[in-house]
Amino acid sequence: GPPLAARLEALPASATIAITGKARALRAVGVDVLSLSIGEPDFAMPEHALEAAHRAAREGLTKYPPIDGYPALRAAIARKFERDNGLRFDVGQIAIGHGGKQLLYNAFAATLEPGDEVVIPAPYWVSYALTAQLFGATVVPVDCAEAEDFALRPEGLAAAITPRTRWVVLNSPSNPSGAVFSPDLLRAIGQVLEAHPHVWVLSDEIYEHLVFAPAEHASIAALCPGLRDRVLTLNGVSKAYAMTGWRVGFAGGPARLVRAMAKMQGHTTSGVSGPAQMAAAAALDGPQQRVREMRAVYRARRDRVVTALRAMQGITCAMPQGAFYAFPSIAGCLGRRSAGGRLLDSDTAFAEALLDEAHVAVVPGVAFGASPYLRLSTAAADEVLDEACARMARFCAELD
Ligand code: PLP
């Protein structure tokens, strides 16, 4: 048939999708698979947000919405940035899109030229890399060490920036490592960035409310006013309010960039549906007590899972300070054989054998630009987490 675009063929297939597909196929034939592979909160969304969506639909917000969002949501986002992040944006500095994911896409589409470089601390959320590649940019990973809790070293960042760098991506708390960059570290990173005025900075803070004390969340745009004209602070309602399916993300940044992103959006998806926007506004403006409750639950789960992982043969695990993942190293298992006779020569081989033999689905670290690791999501009930860890412990104990 007719050809597909070369840029698409150059994109690697998603390891997450491969594992999820395999898990689904096993489940379809009756295997009891436990899935710790997806990054989706297992909580219900806030009731008042659901009601706001219902009301919006009833009251007629059912036509094409404004591309850059309804004023009510833009105002709620401005309040949120000021309240939580100490950031003041006027309405022309706020972008709204179909999830944080689409804002990332719009931002990169609006700025990247083939051959540009995008610096990304590794391990990283895979969409940064794939979206950059889609626009012909080269990903420049900066490896962050497990022994340093996957914090980005400012010297490592400085060494990675070249005249071709167009973006530096920061993601604290991090998916998949759970690293949280302290205010001091962010200031040091900001100092490096101040020396490179040709670089845009994406600060993806979508997990900001899922930070475990004594770690604390800070926004680089607030800490480093000198960067204000080139930081895009990205966020959304998916993680904090368990509203993944509503597809609402938002960002605050320089008006020039926000305008360019809106132009992209005008030609692709237009604006987010009215009921979804009103649900997001209600979540941002409503009571925040549930966010604190979810944080406490995620923290207890983190403790549970990391304790179990650290007791497994061949596994080490840094302590995540935020988000809802654990990112253990399987270095101590490499080169060994599973009870089913599989040679574990990579994290992909480990994840495949774990799924086939122990029926636990996790994502191999290679999908996040770091090996040999696994990403386990802790967005699951205690019973599921306990049973998955018990199966994985057995799997590790039986390695040859
Ligand atoms: N940023 C990070 C680090 C994520 O893990 C995700 C979702 O998995 C997103 C952004 C985007 O989420 P959404 O598009 O649902 O807003």
Q: Does residue 205 fall inside a structural domain?
A: yes
Q: Does residue 1 fall inside a structural domain?
A: no
Task: Answer whether 376's CB lies under 8 Å from 362's CB.
Answer: yes
Quote the CA–CA distance of 154 and 332 in Å, as a whole number.
29
Please determine, for residue 277, whether its predicted confidence score (pLDDT) is greater than 90.
Answer: yes
pLDDT-derived band at 15 (thresholds 50, 70, 90) equals: confident
With a 6 Å cutoff on the Cβ, whether 84 touches ligand 1 is no
Residue 13: its pLDDT value, please?
Answer: 74
Please determine, for residue 313, whether its predicted confidence score (pLDDT) is greater than 80.
Answer: yes
- Choose which residue among 96, 126, 169, 175 to substitute to test ligand 1 binding: the one with the highest number of ligand atoms within 8 A of its C-beta: 175
Domain co-membership, 89 together with 162: yes
Domain co-membership, 15 together with 71: no
* Domain span at 86: 48-285
Using DSSP's 3-state secondary structure scheme, residue 325 falls into strand
CA torsion 95→100→104→106, rounded to 10°? -50
pTM score: 0.96
ipTM of the complex: 0.99
Task: Answer whether 100's CB lies under 8 Å from 235's CB.
Answer: yes
Cα 224 versus chain centre, distance:
23
Q: What is the number of structural domains in the chain?
A: 2
Please determine, for residue 117, whether its predicted confidence score (pLDDT) is greater than 80.
Answer: yes
Domain co-membership, 273 together with 349: no
CA of 100 to the centre of ligand 1 (A): 6
* Residue where a domain stops, chosen among 265, 285, 305: 285
Q: Does residue 254 fall inside a structural domain?
A: yes
Residue 95: its pLDDT value, please?
Answer: 98
Domain co-membership, 206 together with 88: yes
Residue 190: its pLDDT value, please?
Answer: 98
CA of 84 to the centre of ligand 1 (A): 19
With a 6 Å cutoff on the Cβ, whether 178 touches ligand 1 is no
Domain co-membership, 230 together with 305: no
Number of residues in the chain = 400
Residue 106: its pLDDT value, please?
Answer: 98
* Residue where a domain stops, chosen among 236, 252, 285: 285
pLDDT-derived band at 216 (thresholds 50, 70, 90) equals: very high
Tell me the pairing of strands 117-122 and 165-171.
parallel
Locate the ligand 1 atom nearest the alpha carbon of residue 40 and give its number.
8
CATH number at residue 12: 3.90.1150.10
* Residue where a domain stops, chosen among 285, 317, 342: 285
Please determine, for residue 187, whether its predicted confidence score (pLDDT) is greater than 80.
Answer: yes
Task: Answer whether 207's CB lies under 8 Å from 41's CB.
Answer: no
